[in-house]
Homo-oligomer: A and B are copies of this chain.
């Protein structure tokens, strides 16, 4: 698969794919006449990376995880711990977002009500 195809498949720019390689998040991509040929292994990793990035994991954490994968046997416990940390961070993130959604719903409701019974000039937080 070429860089263009990968970029379209995962909806990330070619620049981003090259950037990920430059910083060592994606490694050992084969070339044919200097042109990148992504294979199964890379595709699986890229899918994971894209998903985790969309959730907000840092590139740094992902590099660490990929390095453990490359070191192979004996790093399983460390990998598991890293993933647990990231999952816990995401769960905390979810709570923050939930809290904000609650607040937003309350305010949206407030506007819904005053917009119904215009011309009540009451207003939130002023």
Contact = CB atoms under 8 A, between A and B. Distances in A.
A90 to B, nearest CB: 5
Contacts of A44: 125
Interface stretch (A15-23, A29-37, A51-59): A51-59
A45 B124 CA distance: 10
A12 interface: no
A111 B80 contact: yes
Stoichiometry, as copies per complex, reads 2
A115 B55 contact: no
B104 A87 contact: yes
A90 B100 contact: yes
Contact of A108 (B52, B80, B107, B124): B80
Interface residues of A, number: 46
B76 A115 contact: yes
A83 B96 contact: no
A105 interface: yes
Interface of A: 41, 44-45, 48, 51-52, 54-57, 69-70, 72-73, 76-77, 79-80, 83-84, 86-87, 90-91, 93-94, 96-101, 103-105, 107-108, 111-112, 114-115, 121, 123-126
